[in-house]
Amino acid sequence: MLDVRPSFLALLLVAAPLGAEDVRALMLQARALQLRGGGADPAAAAGLYRRVLVEMPQSAEAHLRLSESLQEAQDLDGAVAPARRAVELAPLNAEAQAHLALLQFQRAQKDEAILPEAVKELRAATLRLPQDAELWARLGETCEQLKDGEGALKAWTRLGRMRPSFTPAWERVLIHARAGQDYEGKREALLALNAHHPEDRHLRLLEELAREQIKMGYLAHAEESFLLLAKNLPQERGLWENISLVRIQTARYAEALETLAKAEALQSSPSITFHTARALMNLGHFPEAERRLQGILDAPQEEDWTADGVPMLYAESLLLQGKAKTLLAFLQTRKPRPRTDGEAQVFKVQAEVSLNDWESALASLKEGITRFPKVPFFQQAAKLPPSHLEYRFFSRKEARSDLEQLHLEGMAGLWQEFQRWDKCLEALEKARKLAPLSVDSLIMQSQAYDQLGRHAESLAVLRQAQVQEPTNPLVQNNLGYLLLEQGQQLEEAASLIEASAKATPDSGSVVDSLGWAQFKLGRMAEAEATLRRATELSPYSPEIRRHLGEVLVKQGKLAEAAEQWERALAFIFPERAELEKRLGDLRVRIAKEQAQKLDGVTAKSPNPNADPFADPKAAIPAEDDEDDE
């Protein structure tokens, strides 16, 4: 039991008159009597601090130490008044604020009515001591007691970021994030929980999250999750394959081949071979892709998807290599498949045109128009003059040119599919020599020029498309956006995009272009409203989130701008590394402004009475980042 009887020294000092030096001596003696000072008589220490306060009632230090002594003596209620007085007298003293906060937390454990006051003081303390782990933990616990899930989530997240290996904090973050359907919180918690020596249940939850991220289109986050899973479960073939699929979907084919090789080394499968062939074709390695696909076709098939995907990819590989005879022989032996019969018929026509077998090509074309009227290739063919589809008139130059142009535009589309923009452009330029290109082909040609860095030619082609179809919404949008990016004719660009938006009001990409035009013209309020609508129409577009963030930065709404950019980084896009750097710079700017704001607030509340014992910069030292599990 704690002995709270006043010491003999304390009794001697009660009646003695005090001078300045005596006051200092009393403070030292009282400190030595406190439990935290190594003593065993906090009640006696409290008596001495009261003696000091008679002489120096404005001493924040004495009020603080008195409160500490009363707390040590288990007089929690009595400790509150001097703690509050210490904070009033020295608002810059972080130690006093922290003491009051923890004191109120301690009281709230016995009286729930004090919980709101405890939360208030703990929040004030974390502002003064943002690196104090205990304060964040107590704030998290108190918010939980008040059923404030959002407040608890923020507190535990802050503690977890300070102590990344402190598992209990991340466990609490995960609980509150799942309860509040907070995606970012759940993601951050699961990444932290699986970073070092994860439990099986955490790995399972991370896999569930990765699949959820795929469904939402958050491919950057999904790849991050699958990579962490693969790090902990390197022998799981499916994880490496999933990483590869994300990389293929985001056009990072060389990286995809690396992870596909890891999956194949563990156990080969038709799906791995198929996806490897896709990556190879996108890198221009058609012979190797053909060999791999041929291997799948020659083997007995157990999975139904191979009957559709593999034959068509194999046919494309043959056509793009100019192996028309091999392709026709393959198509003759191919079993009919309703989902891909129309595509196969297109390949047949193109192979026959490649061989200059015009009679067979015309027959196949007419069959395709009849059987597959919804296939774009045959829809375009159906617009040709009927006489151009009769072989007896085919000696006419224009008839042969029409069919050859149709074939070349189809080939350009295939090259576009594999992002071989040089080959796409080559096919379109050949087609253009035969007859004027359709607007759709002009749009494709403009894209090819743009991808090859030939921006002036891209713009010129869109101008031609504009002449042909001045009210085509896609032409208006693309031309307007290209003018914006090149900093040309901003008013015209905005007018074009506005017309496109009126014609296609539910197109997120077009509404995004309109908001970006308004931004370029300095109409910030309009731009913000327009881009917010664009995010509703296309919530998974990183480009729209990036643009909205730019507008918010201009308006000084930095925290929300950072949030929008964080959402953008859930995806993979060419400028991702640049945006990551800008977001980092923005976070530094936000932190500096918050610090300046806090310093400004506290500077307005100076202590009117000098306290010889108070250090206005005093703070409880932050703990190190050792593992606290």
Element (H, E) at 281: helix 270-282
d(CA 584, CA 528): 22
Domain boundary among 91, 116, 137: 91
In the predicted model, residues of the chain with pLDDT beneath 70 are: 1-21, 301-305, 392-398, 598-629
- State residue 303's pLDDT score: 59
Contact 349, 364 (CB under 8 A): yes
Q: Return the pLDDT at 7.
A: 40
How far apart CA 385 and CA 370 sit, in angstroms, is: 15
- Using the 8-state DSSP alphabet, how is residue 335 labeled? P
Return the C-alpha torsion angle 530, 534, 535, 540, nearest 10: -160
Is residue 293 within 8 Å of 274, Cβ to Cβ? yes
pLDDT score of 611: 42
User: So what's the pLDDT on residue 18?
Assistant: 53
Domain boundary, last residue among 70, 91, 112: 91
Question: CB–CB of 557/539 below 8 Å?
Answer: no
The span from the CA of 154 to the CA of 500, in Å, is 43
CATH assignment at residue 79: 1.25.40.10
Please report whether residue 593 resides in a domain: yes
pLDDT of residue 384: 85
Answer yes or no: is 244 within a domain: no
CA distance 462 to 427: 18
Pick from 147, 146, 84: nearest CA to 115:
146
Residue 34 lies in a domain: yes
Per residue, the 3-state secondary structure of 36-55, as one string, reads HHCCCCHHHHHHHHHHHHHH
- pLDDT computed for residue 416 by the predictor: 94
Say how many domains are in the chain: 2
Those residues whose C-beta lies under 8 Å from the C-beta of residue 165, and which sit 6 or more positions away, are: 195, 196, 627, 628, 629
Residue 25: inside a domain, yes or no?
A: yes
pLDDT of residue 20: 57
Give the end of a domain, one of 75, 91, 107.
91
Query: What is the structure's pLDDT at 498?
Result: 94
| Assigned domain for 81 exists | yes
Q: How far apart are alpha carbons 503 and 514 in whole angstroms?
A: 13
Q: Look at residue 615 in the predicted model and tell me its pLDDT.
A: 38
443, amino acid identity: I
Residue 60 lies in a domain: yes
Q: What is the pLDDT of residue 396?
A: 62
Give me the domain span that covers residue 566: 540-606
Phi, psi of 285 (to 5 degrees): -95, 70
